[in-house]
Amino acid sequence: MTDPYPSVLLCVEELTKFYGRRTGCRNVSFQLWPGEVLAIVGESGSGKTTLLRCVSGLMPPSSGSVHLSDGSGRTIDVLTLSEAQRRKLIRSDFGFVHQDAHEGLRMGISAGANTGERLMAIGVRHFGRIRAESLSWLERVEMDLSRIDDLPSAFSGGMLQRLQIARNLITRPRLLFLDEPTGGLDVSVQARLLDLLRELVEELSASVILVTHDLTVARLLSHRLVVMQKGEVVETGLTDQVLDDPQHSHTQLLVSSILQT
Amino acid sequence: MLAGCNPWGGYNFAYLDEDTKRMVRRALLKAVAIPGHQIPFSSREMPLPYGWGTGGIQVTASIIGPADTLKVIDQGADDTTNAVSIRQFFTRTTGVATTEKTRAATIIQTRHRIPETPLRAGQIMVYQVPLPEPLRVLEAREVETRKMHAYQEYGLIFVRLYEDVVRYRKIATSYNYPVEVNGHYLMSPSPIPKFDNPKMHRSPALHLFGAGREMRVYAVPPFTSVVSLDFEDHPFEVQRWDQACALCHSRDSFLDEIVTDDRGGRMFVCSDTDYCSERRDEGDAS
């Protein structure tokens, strides 16, 4: 099989999701290149999270296609994979940081086990190695290493997000999905976390799809923007270009509602 | 051979009606065909509380015949309350011969132990299982655990072992120690000590597991591989004791610690009472 999308990592075409008669998202198409950070912005209810869940294989869309390059010139049709293959792909190639850390973490097991779980899932059976990797990743997300054996239920919101990031990046996924990674955090913690994300993503040269309602977050992290309204894409382009010179009336509304400091 | 076989009348042979026994046997056949895989069955109300061995009793009742010889143990002993009650139950409802000798038994129902005397081909072990799903503590969703079994996604069980090593510097799980059966299914071996896990590996006997409340049966057919999970740098180990059994001086059996007075006196004796007394008889004879 030859690659119809050379050098493109992810190609989403005409993706549509209906919830009964309601529309989640409709006819969304975009492409993602390796190492690129793509932000999906829009107000609450505009279909951002629906889109993210469909693309990442967490939820089947009503129609459309998602193709992923496997890194060696072949293309994987993500939506027609068998369940076993899809789960394996999600486990090894994808990372997913949820807005609500309770969704992305196991609250009943220690922080170190949370980060180590993905290693164990891909077959690492050496305790010392799992432990060392966990420690090194907790260090990279700037967590207090003495907390490695504590339960996540004893952690603050910012720490939970750091732990989620470490848990996902430990297997070096090629594609990282971030769903409002800094939602609900105070501003100083947000700023530090965004810095950290930017550094790590650059270092791993992972591709990222970031969902956010916060244009400041999008401006800081992303290279390109997709603006959504009522389930449809209304504007796409380079982040700076879209934010500095918004064309669509809805984008103009979003940009003008950023608080000026 | 049905109602007329037992002196108490009114009940069918082995308490359960023939259709129920057939249903359980069908589930057991499936279980034997897919080693370690949990098969649902419609568990019946039994005349004893859940947790006292309702699953094991239903399995035994379904497979027992008039020619069988039954042995029942609880914590390795033939003379504890649960063992005595279950043995009496089958004596009353089937009239089959019972024994305390491992060698003489064709069916051995157990809760906590596999006898020390090696099992032979043709014998059937029946286990009473409280929690058949080894992944349940970590994953509450049944739909999810079934998928994990189907796709062999067993990373999560290592999380449990990891937590053990973190807390106790070694794998401290000492009973109900998770095993992989026939190179595929993760299985909970019921609350037997991990000391007994190696006895299941390629055992010539048939091992049947029944969970009454959870409505599952599963099986390890004869000569099937049963491997205890571990880490490369924390390999699986069984319990060891510094002393020998105070009664039969065995150094190879699982020992119970018995407190003998309130001044710190204690003794270690075999948990398998039949094995211990057999060794003592041999010692007297020689």
Last residue of a domain, one of B205, B228, B251: B228
Distance CA B221, CA B211 (A): 18
Full strand arrangement of the beta sheet holding A63-69: A22-32, A10-19, A63-69, A75-77
Distance CA B61, CA B71 (A): 13
Lowest mean pLDDT among A186-195, B74-83, B186-195, B245-254: A186-195
Cross-chain residue pair B151–A125, CB shorter than 8 Å: no
Mean pLDDT computed over A217-221: 90
Q: Which two tokens stand for residue B263?
A: 């001044």
What is the per-residue pLDDT for B130?
93
> What residues contact A245, with CB distance under 8 A and at least 6 apart?
none
Architecture of domain A10-256: 3-Layer(aba) Sandwich (3.40)
What is the per-residue pLDDT for A235?
94
Mean pLDDT computed over A135-139: 94
Cross-chain residue pair B155–A118, CB shorter than 8 Å: yes
A87 neighbourhood in chain B, CB within 8 Å: 147, 151, 153
Is residue B28 a contact partner of residue B210, using CB atoms and an 8 Å limit?
A: no
Distance CA A212, CA A191 (A): 14
Instruction: Report if residue B69 sits inside a domain.
Output: yes
Instruction: Report if residue B148 sits inside a domain.
Output: yes
> What residues contact B193, with CB distance under 8 A and at least 6 apart?
B112, B113, B174, B175, B238, B239, B254
Q: How far apart are the first and last CA of chain A?
A: 53
**Side-chain half-sphere CA neighbours of B20 within 13 A:** 17
Q: Which two tokens stand for residue B16?
A: 């359960």
Is residue A40 a contact partner of residue A213, using CB atoms and an 8 Å limit?
A: no
Cross-chain residue pair B155–A120, CB shorter than 8 Å: yes
Distance CA B8, CA B252 (A): 43
Give burial (CB, 10 Å; 0-12/13-18/19+) of A257.
exposed
Q: Which residues of B are annotated as catalytic? A: 36, 245, 248, 270, 276
Q: Which two tokens stand for residue A88?
A: 């394996």
The residues with which B107 forms a beta bridge, in sequence order, are B70, B124
DSSP type of residue A145 = G
Q: Which two tokens stand for residue B84?
A: 């005595």
What is the per-residue pLDDT for A259?
66
Residues of A (124-153) whose Cβ lies below 8 Å from B: 125-128, 130-131, 149
Domain count for chain B, please give it. 2
From the list B166, B211, B173, the residue with the least C-alpha distance to B195 is B173
Arithmetic mean of pLDDT over chain A: 90
* CA angle at B154 for the pair B210 and A55, rounded to the nearest 5°: 125
Q: Based on the fold, state whether residues B203 and B248 are members of the same structural domain.
A: no
Instruction: Report if residue B233 sits inside a domain.
Output: no
Distance CA A218, CA B60 (A): 65
Mean pLDDT computed over A17-33: 93
How confident is the model over B19-49, as pLDDT tens digits? 999 999 999 999 999 999 999 999 999 998 8
Is the pLDDT at B167 greater than 80? The verdict is: yes
Lowest mean pLDDT among A1-10, A29-38, A219-228, B89-98: A1-10
- The residue type found at B75 is Q
Cross-chain residue pair A149–B162, CB shorter than 8 Å: no
Instruction: Report if residue B235 sits inside a domain.
Output: no
Distance CA B13, CA A256 (A): 83
What is the per-residue pLDDT for B1?
46
Any alpha helices (H) in B34-125, and if so which ranges? 54-63, 81-94
Is the pLDDT at A71 greater than 90? The verdict is: no
Any alpha helices (H) in chain A, and if so which ranges? 48-55, 83-93, 101-104, 111-121, 127-140, 157-169, 187-204, 215-221, 239-244, 249-256
How confident is the model over A95-126, as pLDDT tens digits? 999 988 998 999 999 999 999 999 999 999 99
Cross-chain residue pair A87–B165, CB shorter than 8 Å: no
Distance CA B238, CA A216 (A): 58
A173 at the B interface (CB within 8 A)? Answer: no
A84 neighbourhood in chain B, CB within 8 Å: 150-151
**Torsion sign, CA atoms A31, A32, A37, A43:** positive
Give helix A111-121 / helix A127-140 axis angle, nearest 10°: 120
B234 at the A interface (CB within 8 A)? Answer: yes
Is the pLDDT at A236 greater than 70? The verdict is: yes
Q: Based on the fold, state whether residues B169 and B266 are members of the same structural domain.
A: no
B156 neighbourhood in chain A, CB within 8 Å: 117, 120-121
A116 at the B interface (CB within 8 A)? Answer: yes
Residue tagged 């129920």 (tokens): B20
Rounded to two decimals, the ipTM of the complex is 0.85
Is residue A215 a contact partner of residue A226, using CB atoms and an 8 Å limit?
A: no
Q: Domain limits of chain A?
A: 10-256
A103 neighbourhood in chain B, CB within 8 Å: none
- How do beta strands B185-187 and B97-98 pair? unpaired
A102 at the B interface (CB within 8 A)? Answer: no
A63 at the B interface (CB within 8 A)? Answer: no
Is the pLDDT at B3 greater than 70? The verdict is: no
B147 neighbourhood in chain A, CB within 8 Å: 83, 87
From the list A236, A235, A164, A244, the residue with the least C-alpha distance to A200 is A164
Mean pLDDT computed over A37-47: 91
Q: Based on the fold, state whether residues B249 and B183 are members of the same structural domain.
A: no
> What residues contact B94, with CB distance under 8 A and at least 6 apart?
B5, B6, B13, B14, B64, B66
What is the per-residue pLDDT for B51?
87
Residue tagged 């430990």 (tokens): A170
Q: Based on the fold, state whether residues B169 and B250 are members of the same structural domain.
A: no
Q: Based on the fold, state whether residues B275 and B253 are members of the same structural domain.
A: yes
b/e code B120-131 from CB counts within 10 Å (16+ = b): eeebbbbbbbbe
Tell me the CATH number at B159: 3.40.50.11310
Q: Based on the fold, state whether residues B250 and B221 are members of the same structural domain.
A: no
Is the pLDDT at A74 greater than 90? The verdict is: no
Q: Based on the fold, state whether residues B31 and B137 are members of the same structural domain.
A: yes
- Residue B170 belongs to what domain range? 3-228
Arithmetic mean of pLDDT over chain B: 93
Last residue of a domain, one of B207, B228, B249: B228
Q: How far apart are the first and last CA of chain B?
A: 45
Residue A167, φ and ψ in degrees, nearest 5: -60, -35
Mean pLDDT computed over B67-90: 93
Q: Based on the fold, state whether residues B60 and B185 are members of the same structural domain.
A: yes
User: How many A-B residue pairs are in contact by the CB < 8 A criterion?
Assistant: 57
The residues with which B156 forms a beta bridge, in sequence order, are none
> What residues contact B21, with CB distance under 8 A and at least 6 apart?
B14, B61, B62
A125 neighbourhood in chain B, CB within 8 Å: 158, 230-232
For residue B155, give the nearest of A110, A117, A126 by CB distance: A117
What is the per-residue pLDDT for A120?
94
B227 at the A interface (CB within 8 A)? Answer: no
Q: Which two tokens stand for residue B250?
A: 């065995």
What is the per-residue pLDDT for A72?
79
Is the pLDDT at B85 greater than 90? The verdict is: yes
* Chain B CA closest to residue A113: B159
How confident is the model over B108-120, as pLDDT tens digits? 999 899 999 999 9
Q: Based on the fold, state whether residues B212 and B252 are members of the same structural domain.
A: no
Question: What's the distance, CA A208 to chain centroid?
Answer: 6
Element (H, E) at B150: helix B142-150
For residue B233, give the nearest of A122, A123, A126 by CB distance: A126
Test mutation, B166, B167, B168, B180, chain A, max A CBs within 10 A: B166
For residue A126, give the nearest of B150, B159, B231 by CB distance: B231
Is the pLDDT at A234 greater than 80? The verdict is: yes
What is the per-residue pLDDT for A43?
87
